[in-house]
Structure 1
Amino acid sequence: MKNYIAVDIGASSGRAVLAHVEDGDIKIQEINRFANGFTTQNQQEVWDIDYLFDEIIISLERAKTLGVRSCYLSIDTWGVDYIFLDDKSKRLQEAVSYRDTRTNHTMEKVFQLINKHDIYNKTGIQFLQFNTLFQLYEECKSVKQQAEYILLVPDYLNFRLTGRLTNEVTNLSTTQLLDLYGYNLNNELLEIVDIKPQQFAEVVEPGTYLGDVRPDIHKLHNLPETCVYATASHDTASAVLGSVGHSGKDWAFLSSGTWSLIGQELSEPIVSENAFNQGYSNERGIQGTYRFLKNIIGMWIIQRVRKDWPKNYTFPEMVKQAQQHTDFKVFVDFNDARFINPNNMVEAIQTYCIETGQSVPQTIGELAQTVYLNLAIIYAVSIEALNEITGSTIEVINIVGGGSNNEYLNELTAYYTNCDIIVGPVEATVFGNLAATMITTEQFKDIAEARQAIAQSNMLQHIMTPKDTTDRITDINLFKEATQYAHKL
C-alpha cells in the first residue's frame, strides 16, 4: 500500500493528512492541525516560516508513530508571497505577508511605467494590490541585489526538505510575472522590479519528483522514508483539481471560503477586453490547463458580521435567522473596497444601504439575509460573465471548500444562477493536493480517474435548479441597478 501525506497550509491554519487508496476510494486521516498567522516585525507583517517547517516535521513524526514506514509528501499553501535566499541558500529576511500595507498604493506607481493592458496581455492575471509584481517593486534594493534565488512559500518548504531549488508553475503564475504561455518570466516586468530571470529557480510542473527528505533531517528526527513531490502548490489549484465537476455539461467551480473563487478550467487562456474589464485571471492548472477565475469576497463578510454584532451567534443560528427574513431584500456590492477590512462590518453594510437609498438591516437575521442573498447574486452575475467571455453555457456549479457547508447559501446560489449545484468535497484542496502526486505515482492514470475516485470518496450533495425562479431576473436587475454593478465590471 502506498502512503501519501498532503500538507495544506492556509493563511490562518494548516493541516497534514495521511492518505491511501483502498478499493478505488481515497481514505484520509488528519494527523496534524496547527495555527498560522503573521506577526509584526520591524513594522512589517511577516510569516513564521520556521514554525511551519517544524510542523511539517512533526506531521512526518506522527505518521511514523502510526506505522508509516515510507510515504509521498506534497505541500500546498497560499500564493504570491516569497523568500529571498543568498548565495549560500540562507534566508535573507522573513517572508512578508501579502496583507502588509506596503503595496497599498504600488499599482499606481507601476502603471506609470507600463500600461495596465500590457501587463494583462503579458501575464493574463487580474490586478490585486498584493501580487508579487507589486511586492517586489517595494522591496529594498540592496536585498534584491543580494538575493541569489527567489522561492515562493511552498517551494521554500520543499527546498528545506530536499535541498532542491524550484518554483512550481501553478503558484508561480499568481505572481503576475510569468508569461501567459510557457515557463519564462517576463523580462520587461522583471526589469521594472529590478529582478533578473535567473534569480527565480527552475520552474516545474505539479507531479515533479523533487527528492527525498535530506539525510541530516533524518538524523535528528524519527521519520518515514519520504519522497517529496511538487503538487499543484497554490491552494486554489489543488482545490480545482479536487473538484469533481460534470463530464457531460459545461460546469464551473466555486471554491467557497473566506474568499470565493469562481471560474472554469480551460485548455487555453483568455485575455480579451471583456476578460480584462471584468477582472478575470488565467492562473495555471495541472497538465497545461488554465484556471480562468475571479476573486470574489466570500464568507469573510458573514465572519465579520458575527464578530462585530454585539450578541454572540453561531453560524448555524445566523443561517436560521436569515431564513426567517427571506422577504427582506436590499442589494449590496460586497466587492466594494469598503468591505475588505472595515472597522465594523455591520456599520459598513448599514452605511452602504443608507447611501444607496435602501432599507437598512437592523437585526441579525436581516443582516445575514443581506449577506447570503447578495453573495448568491454576485455568483450569478459572475456566471453570466463567464458564459459571455468563454462562450460556455454553464449548467452545473461545483461548490467546494468550507463555505459549501452552508446549505442555505447553496440553495440561493442554485436559485439565482439557474444552475444545478454539486456540493463538495469540503476538503477539495487536500484531495487535489493528493491527486497530483497520485497521478504521477500511477495510483490513477489521469485527472478523470482521480476525480472519479474523489467523487466516490465523498458524500456529495446535489441541488437541482428550482423550477420556480420568478424573482430571479428581477432581483439580479435590481442588484445591478442599486449597485451600478454593470458599470463596475
Structure 2
Amino acid sequence: MLGIDWSEPIVKNIYVAVDIGASSGRLMLAEINRNQQIQIKEMHRFKNGFEKSDGHERWNIDYLIHEILTGLEKVKAAGYTNVHLGIDTWAVDYVLVGEDGQKLSNPISYRDSRTSNTIKALTSDLPKRELYKKTGIQFLDFNTLYQLYEEDHELLKKTNKIMMIPDYIGYVLTGKAVTEVTNASTTQMLNLRAGLFDEDLLNKVNVNDDQFAHLVEAGTPLGTISDNWMENFDLPVTEVITVATHDTASAVVGTPGHGDDWAFLSSGTWSLLGKELNTPENGQLAFQDNYTNEWGAYGTYRFLKNIMGLWMAQCVKRCYGNQYSFGELAALAGDEVPFQQFIDVNDERFVNPKNMIEEIQQYCRESNQTVPETPGEVMMAIYANLALFYANEIQELNKILNCHLNTLNIVGGGSNVALLNQLTSTLANIEVIAGPNEATAIGNALVQMISTGDVKNIQVGRKIISESFELKHFKPETGEYAGVLQRYQDFLNGHSKELV
C-alpha cells in the first residue's frame, strides 16, 4: 500500500519539510518506518519576523534561505546524504525579481499598513460580488491583489518575475521558477473558471501574466539544489519537490480526516477553519460571510474562514515580557470563569496593535464590558472568544454547504491547548479530534512521499497519519454554557451589547 517492499534491502527515501511561519521556521526530517508509520524529527529551528526598512515592514528573505542551508548541513552531518525537500510558508507575500534574476528588494509583510484602505479603492469600479465570483477568495486587505495595487510602479516596471515566498526560495535553491497553485490562489487573482490569472485583475494592478512563472500543482518535482550551493555548503544531494507551498494547504493535507462529515481547523498564528471540497462554493451566502476558496492539493478546494487565531496570545505573551510560557498562560486562564466579555477576534484593530493587552482592554471599555486585568483573565478572554468564533463558523459552514459536520479536526500548535479544544467542542456541540500538532510539516512530507511513490495517495496517507501520531478526543459537555453562543452571535450582529 505504501509502495515500499521491506522484504528486500532498499535505500529508504528521506524527506525534509521546510516549514516557515511568521514567527519561526524549522526543518523537519520525515521517513516511513518498518511499522508503516511516518516518523518526524526536528533538525533545525530558527526565528522569523519582519522589521521596518525603507518605510515598510519587510521580511529578510536572504536570512531565511541561509537558515535552510544551515539546516540541510545539519541533515548531512546526521548521516543523510540523499534527501527530498519541500518548502511551505505563509501566503500572499511575494518577491519581485529583476531581469538579472535577482530580487529587487526584500518582500513587504502582509502586516504592513500600506493596504489598509486598498479594498475600497480597488473595488470602486469593480463590484465586490463580481470580484468574488471571479476568484472565490475572501476579502482581506493584505491579499496580494491589494499589495500589488499599492506596489511601487517603477519597481513593477523593472520586474521580470513576481514570485510567492516559497516559490522564490525554491527558485534561489534550484534556479527553476514555478508558481504553485495553493499559494497562488491566495493572491485573489486566479480565476476559478479558467484556472489561470484573471486578465482583468492583472490589468487592475498593472502587471501581466508573463510576470508570473507557469502554474504547477502540488507534488511537481522542481529540481536539484544548484551546484553553487553545494560548493559553499556541506549539503546532502537534495531533490526539491514543489509541495502544497501554502502552509495551510500542507496542514490540511496532514489532517487525518476521513469520510465527508469533518471540518478542519488549522490553529496557529492564524486560525483557518473550513471544509475540504471537490468543487468551489462562491455563491451568495459564501460571499456574504466572506468565505474563501483557496486551492488545495490534488484538485481540492479549502473552503474556509480566516480567523485571527493565536496571534493574539503570541502578542500577549510578548507584552508580558515572555515571563510566562504558553502552557503557563493556559493554566492561568483555566483558573478563570469564561465568557465575561464578548470580543470580535477578527476586528482589524487586533491585526498589529502596539500593545495587544491594552487593545483588548480598550475594546471591552468601548463596549461597556468587564475589562480583563490579570494574565489569566486576558488569556481566558482570548480563548473563550476564539472558541465562540469557531463555534459560530461551524454553524455557518453547515448552513452554507447544507451539511452536518460531526467532527472538527484541530491541527497545529493550537491542538495542544486543551482548554480551547474543550470549549470549542462544547459550544459547537461537535467532537473535536486534536492533532497532530505538526500537521503542516507532515502534510509537506506526505506530498513528497506521494510524488516519489512511497505512499499511494492522500487517502492512504491520512490513514497512515492517524495511525502514526497521538490524537486527543474532546466531547461536548452537555448543558455547559447554554445560550452563550446565541448571545455572542447577537453581539456580533450588533443586536446586543449585553454581557453574559
Q: TM-score, normalised by structure 2?
A: 0.93
Q: Are the aligned partners of 1:70 and 1:225 in contact in 2 as well (CA < 8 Å)?
A: yes
Deviates more, 1:303-312 or 1:203-212: 303-312
Distance in 2 between the 1:266 and 1:479 partners? Answer: 28
SS at structure 1 position matched to 2:240: strand
Q: Are the aligned partners of 2:279 and 2:300 in contact in 1 as well (CA < 8 Å)?
A: yes
SS at structure 1 position matched to 2:345: coil
- Residue of structure 2 in register with 1:483 after alignment: 492
Correspondences of 1:440-455 after superposition (within 5 Å): 440-455=451-466
Deviation, 1:309, is: 5.3
1:241 and 2:248 matched: no
Correspondences of 1:38-53 after superposition (within 5 Å): 38-53=50-65
Q: Are the aligned partners of 1:169 and 1:183 in contact in 2 as well (CA < 8 Å)?
A: no
- Residue of structure 2 in register with 1:298 after alignment: 309
Change in Cα spacing, 1:328 to 1:216, as seen in structure 2 (3 Å) is closer
- Residue of structure 1 in register with 2:7 after alignment: none
Q: How many residues are treated as equivalent by the alignment? A: 484
Letter in 1 for 2:141: Q
Deviates more, 1:179-188 or 1:121-130: 179-188
Letter in 2 for 1:351: Q
Deviation, 1:310, is: 8.8
Change in Cα spacing, 1:324 to 1:338, as seen in structure 2 (3 Å) is same
Distance in 2 between the 1:123 and 1:199 partners? Answer: 19
SS at structure 2 position matched to 1:120: helix
Runs (5+) with no aligned partner, structure 2: 1-11
Deviations 1:402-426 (A, max 9, x none): 1111101111011001000110000
Distance in 2 between the 1:356 and 1:75 partners? Answer: 43
Deviates more, 1:325-334 or 1:155-164: 325-334
Deviations 1:382-402 (A, max 9, x none): 000000011110110001111
Letter in 1 for 2:341: V
**Which of the residues 184, 190, 203 maps onto 2:196?**
184
SS at structure 2 position matched to 1:148: strand
SS at structure 2 position matched to 1:28: strand
SS at structure 1 position matched to 2:38: strand
Q: Are the aligned partners of 2:22 and 2:269 in contact in 1 as well (CA < 8 Å)?
A: no
**Which of the residues 185, 189, 206 maps onto 1:194?**
206
**Which of the residues 462, 466, 471 maps onto 1:460?**
471
Change in Cα spacing, 1:87 to 1:348, as seen in structure 2 (3 Å) is closer
Deviates more, 1:347-356 or 1:67-76: 347-356
SS at structure 2 position matched to 1:31: strand
Letter in 1 for 2:160: E
Change in Cα spacing, 1:144 to 1:411, as seen in structure 2 (3 Å) is same
1:254 and 2:254 matched: no
Deviations 1:183-225 (A, max 9, x none): 3100000001010111110100011011111223222222221
Deviation, 1:471, is: 3.0
Distance in 1 between the 2:467 and 2:146 partners? Answer: 42
1:405 and 2:447 matched: no
Alpha-carbon RMSD across the aligned residues, in angstroms, is 1.9
**Which of the residues 126, 131, 135 maps onto 1:123?**
135
- Residue of structure 2 in register with 1:134 after alignment: 146
SS at structure 2 position matched to 1:150: strand
**Which of the residues 78, 82, 85 maps onto 2:97?**
85
Distance in 1 between the 2:191 and 2:162 partners? Answer: 17
Q: Are the aligned partners of 1:325 and 1:365 in contact in 2 as well (CA < 8 Å)?
A: yes
Deviations 1:230-289 (A, max 9, x none): 000000000111111133x50110111121110000001011111111111000001110
- Residue of structure 2 in register with 1:388 after alignment: 399
SS at structure 2 position matched to 1:19: strand
Distance in 2 between the 1:148 and 1:418 partners? Answer: 51
Deviations 1:61-113 (A, max 9, x none): 22111111211111001111111222232222221211222111211210123
Q: TM-score, normalised by structure 1?
A: 0.95
Q: Are the aligned partners of 1:151 and 1:167 in contact in 2 as well (CA < 8 Å)?
A: yes
Deviates more, 1:43-52 or 1:200-209: 43-52
Letter in 1 for 2:475: M
Deviates more, 1:36-45 or 1:17-26: 36-45
Deviation, 1:456, is: 1.5
Deviation, 1:312, is: 4.5
Deviation, 1:311, is: 10
Deviations 1:283-317 (A, max 9, x none): 00011100001111112223333444599444333
Deviations 1:122-166 (A, max 9, x none): 111111111110111111222212212111111111111211110
- Residue of structure 1 in register with 2:289 after alignment: 278
Deviation, 1:485, is: 5.9
**Which of the residues 35, 38, 51 maps onto 1:26?**
38
Distance in 1 between the 2:349 and 2:153 partners? Answer: 33
Distance in 2 between the 1:27 and 1:178 partners? Answer: 36
Runs (5+) with no aligned partner, structure 1: none
- Aligned-residue sequence identity (percent) comes to 44
Distance in 1 between the 2:233 and 2:108 partners? Answer: 29
- Residue of structure 1 in register with 2:187 after alignment: 175
Deviation, 1:10, is: 1.0
